[in-house]
Chain A
Amino acid sequence: MSTVSVSATVNGVQRTNEVEPRVLLVHYLRDMLRLTGTHVGCDTSNCGACTVILDGAAVKSCTVLAVQARNSEITTIEGLAAPGEPFSAVQQGFHQEHGLQCGYCTPGMIMACTALLAENPDPTEHEIRHALEGNLCRCTGYQMIVNSVRWAAEHPDGVVPARPDATTPVRSTLGAGS
């Protein structure tokens, strides 16, 4: 079994591994580098759970061979937030707007949204929905994901504006029972 040496900058760190040429990028990241935030949700390049940013572009890492990523810069969900910052704007948007439930599609979804905002910092709802066609979510029905991206577009530095603390009861006009 022949192997190929793969060097790549992953989340800012230079990595070099001997890799079987058939190894998919997603397995290189998950199994060899143990960056398990990138998930696998299908085997036909549909779900986008494995989305990472490769040389600035969102790609499905299940459909790229690790050798194809040689000498590339790769950003995964683990490398998204700037050093010292807990969350990027998109991550914070997903938190603020309830853009996730089970969280399994979320890393891929966040990477796709990050790539979108890098190219189009102020997308419309329509543009967001089309930009996310390569990412499937089974929990949210997508509207709150759209809201999350809008939040990130409106708060590009990811800073939550001063407002009543998140745990302060903001009573819904409907629904509070007792």
Chain B
Amino acid sequence: MIPASFDYLEASSVDHAIALFAEHGDAKFLAGGHSLVPMMKLRLVSPSVLIDIGRLAELSYIDDRGDHVAVGALTRHRELEDSSLLAEQIGLLAHVAGQVGDPQVRNRGTIGGSLVHGDPAADLPAASLALRASMVITGAAGQRVVPAVDFFVNFLETAVGDGELLTEIRFPKRTGTRWAYQKFNRRAMDYAIVAVAVQLGDNPGIALVNMGPTPHFAVAASAALAAGAPASKIADAVLEGTGAWDDSNATREYREHLARELTTRALAKAGYTS
């Protein structure tokens, strides 16, 4: 339960971090470390070089940009949770950030770290999907912007390539600000068995936690929601494209039931009426 040895380098800027990566190859970026350090302790990951970006103040911000709120990738869960700007404009994100793990985890973990880890059982990826966020990825060749639906590529794999950094997440503002997050687990600090994030308003979205190998955007249900379908129809559509599995906490059948049930509850909680 001790990481393997590595060389430690501290980046002084985003560009420096990217340059260091290009120089060193078998490297990992270290942000808050709350996804990476546990994996390194188990020696599931043993990079030769760790490039610490954790102190890059340039990546820690929550900015109002008119039609969207931009969040720097190193913004900690706790800062999202406490942000009055988010509470007002992107309430779902602030709320979901407060549902991650436990207080100590939220004090250290960063939104970028959580999203790049791409865990289908994590909370923030689903929130970013329901909110139809855009991810700004910075690499040696410059920046590109990837919509959240294209960001989560495979199990624990995202659109962020080797040597690239997720630097900013953009959350579009909406006229309607109602939302709900329904998380089901056995202990409060655990990953969800299933969770459902619902954002109403223009361009609404529904996303599911732990219903397949990646954080899942419920395309059909989101479309039904946009079309003003009855809640029961939306709940029926929510499973389309999911690939839940059996594990020690739940069967696929139970997860699918929960996804429908939690969708229904989330819609009601958000005050959705068709």
- Name A residues whose Cβ lies closer than 8 Å to a Cβ of B: 1-2, 4, 20-22, 24, 43-46, 48, 51, 54, 57-60, 62-65, 67-68, 112, 115-116, 130-131, 133-135
Chain A to chain B contacts (Cβ below 8 Å), 17 pairs: A2-B7, A2-B8, A21-B5, A21-B50, A22-B6, A24-B2, A45-B105, A57-B78, A58-B103, A59-B104, A63-B37, A65-B30, A67-B8, A68-B33, A112-B103, A112-B104, A133-B187
What is the total number of residues of chain B having a CB less than 8 Å from a CB of chain A? Answer: 30
Query: Does the CB pair B104–A20 fall under 8 Å?
Result: no
B108 surroundings in chain A (CB, below 8 A): 57, 59-60, 63-64
* Of A24, A65, A67, A134, the contact of B104 (CB 8 Å cutoff): A134
Give the docked Cα–Cα distance between A101 and B8 (Å).
41
5 closest Cβ pairs, A-B complex:
A134-B102, A21-B8, A43-B1, A57-B107, A133-B189
Query: Does the CB pair A58–B52 fall under 8 Å?
Result: no
B40 surroundings in chain A (CB, below 8 A): 22
* B87 CB to nearest chain A CB (Å): 16
B54 surroundings in chain A (CB, below 8 A): 68
Q: Does B3 contact A (CB under 8 A)?
A: yes
Give the docked Cα–Cα distance between A2 and B5 (Å).
9
With a 10 A CB-CB cut-off, give which of B33, B104, B105 has the most chain A CB atoms: B104
Residues 1-51 of B at the A interface (beta carbon under 8 Å)? 1-8, 30, 33-34, 37-38, 40-42, 50
Query: Does the CB pair A48–B102 fall under 8 Å?
Result: yes
B5 surroundings in chain A (CB, below 8 A): 1, 20-22
Q: Does B85 contact A (CB under 8 A)?
A: no
A115 surroundings in chain B (CB, below 8 A): 103
Give the docked Cα–Cα distance between A4 and B5 (Å).
13
* Of A22, A46, A68, A130, the contact of B188 (CB 8 Å cutoff): A130
Q: Does B201 contact A (CB under 8 A)?
A: no
User: From B9, which residue of chain A is reached at the shortest CB distance?
Assistant: A21
* A83 CB to nearest chain B CB (Å): 26
A57-B107, A57-B108, A63-B105 given; name 11 further pairs at CB < 8 Å.
Answer: A21-B6, A21-B7, A24-B41, A43-B1, A59-B104, A59-B108, A63-B38, A68-B54, A112-B103, A133-B187, A134-B104
B2 surroundings in chain A (CB, below 8 A): 22, 24
B74-110 vs A, CB cutoff 8 Å, 1 = contact: the mask equals: 0000100000000000000000000001111101100
Given contacts A20-B5, A46-B189, A130-B188, contact A68 B104 (CB under 8 A): no
B188 surroundings in chain A (CB, below 8 A): 130, 133
* A23 CB to nearest chain B CB (Å): 9
* A92 CB to nearest chain B CB (Å): 22
Query: Does the CB pair A48–B7 fall under 8 Å?
Result: no
A44 surroundings in chain B (CB, below 8 A): 38
Give the docked Cα–Cα distance between A64 and B37 (Å).
7
Query: Does the CB pair A68–B52 fall under 8 Å?
Result: yes
Given contacts A4-B8, A43-B41, contact A60 B30 (CB under 8 A): no
* B133 CB to nearest chain A CB (Å): 26
